[in-house]
């Protein structure tokens, strides 16, 4: 096929602007997308309950009162702004240290349940949770 000239494509785009898909076209698109997600897509998009790391939707549980910037800063200060796993400082990290819940319970904000970790180490603690609970306690 002869390649279309830029001028021609621009004119086509202008004509297309503001037009809407008909109901049947929309349905066709919807069905082909659904088919895609049911077959090919599922392997790549394990979202929510299908994901092996799904924890029962705990991200929807709010943090308790008192869990705020100053509180987290206090924990970082207690750990003298160093990652308690690899020992690197906040300055080396550029980004602020994460405050990690040792027992993975968002509601438990006692100081002995919290620890400062750099982002790299904090990511590691999201897998093999039982092991990390033993390491920090």
Using the contact rule CB under 5 A, the part of the chain among 3-11, 39-47, 58-66, 114-122 near Zn ion is: 114-122
* 3-state secondary structure (DSSP) of residue 80: coil
Identify whether the C-beta of residue 96 lies closer than 8 Å to the C-beta of residue 54.
no
Q: Is 109 in the site for Zn ion (CB under 5 A)?
A: no
Q: Is 118 in the site for Zn ion (CB under 5 A)?
A: yes
- Cβ at position 72, least distance to Zn ion in Å: 16
DSSP label at residue 38: I
Rounded Cα–Cα distance for residues 51 and 126 (Å) = 14
- Cβ at position 101, least distance to Zn ion in Å: 16
Among positions 27-86, residues that touch Zn ion (CB under 5 A) are 83, 85-86
**Closest-CA residue to 90 (of 101, 77, 103, 102):** 77
- Binding-site ranges for Zn ion (CB under 5 A): 83, 85-86, 118, 121
């Amino acid at each position: 096929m002869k390649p279309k000239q830029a001028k021609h494509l621009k004119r086509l785009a202008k004509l297309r602007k503001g037009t809407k898909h008909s109901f049947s076209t929309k349905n066709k698109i919807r069905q082909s997308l659904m088919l895609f997600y049911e077959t090919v897509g599922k392997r790549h998009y394990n979202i929510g309950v299908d994901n092996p790391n799904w924890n029962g939707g705990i991200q929807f549980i709010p943090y308790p009162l008192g869990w705020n910037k100053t509180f987290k800063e206090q924990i970082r200060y207690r750990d003298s702004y160093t990652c308690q796993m690899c020992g690197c400082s906040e300055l080396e990290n550029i980004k602020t240290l994460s405050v990690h819940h040792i027992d993975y319970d968002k509601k438990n904000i006692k100081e002995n349940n919290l620890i400062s970790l750099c982002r790299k180490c904090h990511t590691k603690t999201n897998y093999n949770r039982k092991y990390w609970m033993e390491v920090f306690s």
